Chains A and B, each alone.
Chain A
Amino acid sequence: MSDIKTCVSLYSLQDEYLNKRMSLSDIMHYVKDCGAQGVEILPDQMIKGAPEASPETISAWNALIRETGLTPVIADVFLNTNLYKNRTLTHRECIGLLAKEIAEAHEMGIHLIRLVSMVPYWVLEPLMPVCEKYDVALAIEVHAAMAFDVQATREFLDEVKRLDSRYAGVVIDTGIFCRRFPRVVRAYETQNGTSPEVFDYIDTLFEAGTDLHAVLRKNDYKYPNELQTACRTEHDRMFVPLCDGYENLPFSVMDEYMPYIRHFHLKMFEMTPEGPEYSMDYKGLLEYLDAKNFHGYVSTEYEGNRFTLPGHPMQEKQQVAMQQAYLRKCLQEKHGA
């Protein structure tokens, strides 16, 4: 039987934090009040000094965990390979940086790290002893536009399979399962000057069961005639590549990776008033995961915040609460709880 638990990535509430409407403590309590069981954090977003935070900062985090009762599920980690302007970090520098992240996750009570897409596969094997020492697993993010067809991701996935360790896994971002292009993105980018015809064309691709990423890739990154026609301005032509981060893959693409999938980012652009997310079928995904006997967390990752129209209020808190309520309803229906 599956064991699917809910979580919120604090990425979802970043504007509240940035503009000091909510402190980390406020956010943690809000996540708890929304009914989530776990929490996901980007240490270098909300933990001062990460990945070498002071003992006081780590203690404050652990106190928040005790206060709220939230499970600290996962840390989202980046690798600053371009820390310096004039060179890329060496292999040993990269591994050293990630070792610090692993040790810090351990101090924060976290047993899973999501490595952002495009982290090179060769970090994994040398870090396995560090993962074992601290009981922290590393999982590569599979994100739209950087998913299964991209070489760096494929190399990492192959390495995960080769190592076949409980400390090496995969995190899926559900932006690869968009069934419609997000209308909040369309609205935001249209007011920034992109022609509606570009989005009309992209909509036809989704209606046909595909997406812009797949079409451009198949077409050797040349714009098909219909897209050429849809692009009315130079701005349109420059903007099109930014629209490929929404893929329309079937859930079955995960079949062979299920043994390695540790966690999900439930990407969210817009929860609609009637319940479902505008672009993604969470209910269908949860049914798939239930059938696959998934054990782990599905984590709210609200990204509609960056497409808030000028003059409109930020909807982070409302959207997180709506998604959590919807997930709970879906899970309760499934299990009759």
Chain B
Amino acid sequence: MFDNNVFIKDSCRNVEENGRTTGYELQTLITYYRGIPLSMLEYVKISADGTEEDPENIQVSLDRIDWFTLKEAETVTDYKWEYGDPMYIRVMKDGGLPAGKHRVRLTVATRTAYIPVPLEGIRERDVVIS
């Protein structure tokens, strides 16, 4: 139901920090129809070219200033993921994605009080890393 919200087009790129490629980043809209505190993010899964990324290497941010691991995000209630605003996701991984074409699959799920299962959205995109 929320697949169309997931994985904003052309948002995937490598992350450079201090002249080094420390991982790759992508953006998504919310898999729900309203904004919620970040603690209600249920899970994020990413695979690149069929290989699942280690959840411990995934970080999320709503402003690209404060970043949280998925475990840390479980207690973050002061930051609201607004409906219509992106969440930034990065996979911390030396070298990021190698230059060239990749098939990246993003799964995002939120937790709501009235629906017993997480609201999941999945989208796979071909991305080109220059």
Interface on A for B, CB 8 Å cutoff? Answer: 11, 14, 17-18, 20, 42, 44-46, 48-50, 78-86, 116-118, 146, 306
Q: A18-B83, A46-B83 given as contacts; is B114 within 8 A of A116 (CB)?
A: yes
Given A18-B5, A82-B113, A306-B1, are A45 and B75 also a contact pair (CB < 8 Å)?
Answer: no
Q: Which residues of B contact A45 (CB under 8 A)?
A: 33-35, 83
Q: Contact: B39 with A85, CB < 8 Å?
A: yes
Alpha-carbon separation in the docked complex, A44 to B40 (Å):
14
Q: From residue A308, how far is it (CB to closest CB) to chain B in Å?
A: 9
> What number of B residues sit within 8 Å (CB to CB) of A?
22
Closest to B43 in A: A85
B75-130 interface (Cβ within 8 A of A): 75, 77, 80, 82-84, 111-114
A selection of 25 A-B contacts at a CB cut-off of 8 Å is: A14-B33, A18-B84, A42-B34, A44-B35, A45-B34, A45-B35, A46-B83, A46-B84, A48-B35, A48-B82, A78-B34, A78-B112, A78-B114, A79-B113, A80-B36, A80-B37, A80-B113, A81-B113, A82-B112, A84-B75, A85-B39, A85-B42, A117-B114, A146-B114, A306-B1
Decide: A17 and B83 in contact? CB cutoff 8 A: yes
User: Chain B: residues with CB nearer than 8 A to chain A?
Assistant: 1, 5, 29, 33-37, 39-40, 42, 74-75, 77, 80, 82-84, 111-114
A11 close to B112 (CB less than 8 A): no
CB contacts (< 8 Å) of B29 on chain A: these are 18
Q: Which residues of the partner chain B approach A18 to less than 8 Å between Cβ atoms?
A: 5, 29, 83-84
Q: A17-B84, A44-B34 are in contact. Are A118 and B113 (CB under 8 A)?
A: yes
Closest 7 CB pairs of A and B: A45-B34, A81-B113, A44-B34, A45-B83, A85-B74, A44-B35, A118-B114
Report how far A194 CA is from B36 CA in the complex, Å.
Answer: 31
A146 to B42, CA, bound (A): 24
**Min CB gap A206→B, angstroms:** 23
A sample of 5 more A-B contacts (CB under 8 A), given A42-B34, A44-B35, A45-B33, is A48-B82, A80-B37, A82-B112, A83-B39, A84-B75
With CB as the reference atom, state the residue of chain A lying closest to B35: A44
- How far does the alpha carbon of A79 sit from the alpha carbon of B37 in the complex, in Å? 12
Q: How far is the CB of B7 from chain A (nearest CB, A)?
A: 14
CA distance A116 to B112 in the complex (A): 12
Question: Within 8 Å CB of A20, what residues of B?
Answer: 84
- Please report the C-alpha to C-alpha distance between residue A150 and residue B13 in the assembled complex, in whole angstroms: 48
Bound Cα distance from A236 to B103, whole angstroms: 30
Using Cβ atoms and an 8 Å threshold, which residues of chain B touch A44? 34-36, 80, 83
Interface core residue of A17, A50, A82, A146 (most chain B CB under 10 Å): A82
CB distance from A249 to the nearest CB of B (A): 20
Chain A residues with Cβ under 8 A from B34's Cβ?
42, 44-45, 78
- B70: shortest Cβ distance to chain A, in Å? 10
Residues of A within 8 Å of B33, CB to CB, are 11, 14, 42, 45
Q: Name the distance in Å between B76's Cβ and chain A's nearest Cβ.
A: 10
Shortest Cβ gap from A9 to chain B (Å): 11
A82 to B33, CA, bound (A): 17
Distance of B49 from chain A, by nearest CB (Å): 25
Cβ-defined contact, A49 with B80, below 8 A: yes
Q: How far is the CA of A296 from the CA of B37 in the complex (A)?
A: 33
B74, B77, B113, most chain A CB atoms within 10 A:
B113
Among A18, A79, A117, A146, which residue has the most Cβ atoms of chain B within 10 A?
A18
Q: How many angstroms between the C-alpha atoms of A11 and B111 in the bound complex?
A: 19
Residues of the A chain whose Cβ atoms lie less than 8 Å from the Cβ of B114: 78, 116-118, 146
A78 to B114, CA, bound (A): 9
Q: How many Å lie between the Cα of A254 and that of B33 in the bound state?
A: 29
**CA gap between A306 and B4 in the complex, in Å:** 10
Chain A residues whose C-beta falls within 8 Å of the C-beta of B80 in the assembled complex: 44, 49
